[in-house]
Amino acid sequence: MAQNPMRGVSLTSLRVLIAGGGTGGHIIPALAVARELVARHRAEVLFVGTARGMEGRLVPEAGFALRMVEVGPLNRVSLATRIRTLLDLPRSVMACRNIIHEFNPSVVFGVGGYASGPAMAAGLLMKVPTMAFEPNAMPGMANRIVGKWVQAAAVNFPAAARWFHKPEVTGIPVRPEFFQLEPRPPQSPHLLIFGGSQGAWLFNVTLPQILTELLASVPGLTILHQCGARHAETTQAAYAATGADPARWQVSAFLEDMPMRFARSNLVMARGGASTVAELAAAGKPSLLVPFAAAADDHQRRNAEAMVQAGAAVMLTEDELSSPEKLLVALTGLLASPERLAGMGTAARTLAHPDAAARIADRLAGLATPDWQR
């Protein structure tokens, strides 16, 4: 028989219900906050998620209890799917109400993703202090709906604050190793191309088209391209077909120890996901960002624009990459200017938040006290 995560819950301890997930960008920061809640406040933490998200694997692996609810997507889906989700929404909220009734949390923390909206709605209906977390410059649909009703919010970008009641710019929890990187000593330039855990098909197709000219234009340049497991063979073959010196490039399906990979790079080419830009800021790394055009609410573009405005990044759109020459000019110009890259790295550091997880955990604990309404 499965263990009941409600059994043995103390009625006097801090209890936090963390709702949401889906992608690593939602659940990994949530787990960091959960660990801080346990370490700093001896809290009891229960996660609520859906079967379709990464929380189903990551939360139990981290040692936390997880309850599942059924809730579908609303954004960037067909009309039929949206109608089905809306019809199921009352049942999802009721399921979250039942979990809240059983667990009796001191505070509900919505981290974005499918389960976040129903759980925060249930918390608000049951008058449980509720806090939202928004990692992107443009909040997701669930947070836009409940943002003005929650008691507090933790955001990564100041631009997102206007959507919430009592927001605080806390940043995104990032692994400590990213903050501990030393500036790279002067040596041959190294470009890290990071397409996310699944890779970026557009990167995989475009980079081989400019490889020989890029290597010829930047003496001593070496390249590490993370392409995703599905595209590893074709991307490796495309690079090899250029005839470029294989000692100067490497294609990898997946990269372990990302802080070390960041440390060895002079420039990072990446998408504009919230976790990625937070890691770039923590590491103080200059970047060329190409936002994923199909991202919900165009949030990757808004994240990238915030980095550009800070002087930490250069941005190209996917449409601009349809002309590989634009990418070649951008990369060549950046890699040929160590002084510019150093300035961009310094600017990136100004956006870093080394104490994000602790600040969020403390804010949640504060909401759980009797004076949270002040």
Q: Mean pLDDT per segment of 10 residues, for the chain of length 374 residues?
A: 41 85 85 96 96 90 94 57 59 93 97 89 96 92 90 94 96 92 81 87 96 97 94 96 97 91 96 94 97 87 96 97 94 96 96 96 89 43
Q: What is the pLDDT of residue 114?
A: 81
Contact 111, 29 (CB under 8 A): yes
Cα–Cα distance measured from residue 281 to residue 303, given in angstroms and rounded to the nearest whole number: 12
- CA nearest 26: which of 55, 52, 65? 55
Which of these, 236, 223, 349, 225, lies nearest to 283 by C-alpha position? 349
Torsions phi, psi of 370, nearest 5? -60, -20
Residue entry with tokens 């055009």: 293
Distance CA 299, CA 305 (A): 10
SS3 of the chain? CCCCCCCCCCCCCCEEEEECCCCHHHHHHHHHHHHHHHHHHCCEEEEEECCCCCHHHHHHHCCCEEEECCCCCCCCCCHHHHHHHHHHHHHHHHHHHHHHHHHCCCEEEECCCCCHHHHHHHHHHCCCCEEEEECCCCCCHHHHHHCCCCCEEEECCHHHHHHCCCEEECCCCCCHHHHCCCCCCCCCCEEEEECCCCCCHHHHHHHHHHHHHHHHHCCCCEEEEECCHHHHHHHHHHHHHCCCCHHHEEEECCCCCHHHHHHCCCEEEECCCHHHHHHHHHHCCCEEECCCCCCHHHHHHHHHHHHHHCCCEEECCCCHHHCHHHHHHHHHHHHCCHHHHHHHHHHHHCCCCCCHHHHHHHHHHHHCCCCCCC
Domains and CATH numbers, the chain: 15-173+354-367 (3.40.50.2000), 177-349 (3.40.50.2000)
β-partners of residue 49 are 68
Q: Are 218 and 335 in contact (CB under 8 A)?
A: yes
pLDDT of residue 2: 39
The one-letter code for the residue type at 129 is P
pLDDT score, position 49: 92
* Paired residues of 192 in beta bridges: 224, 268
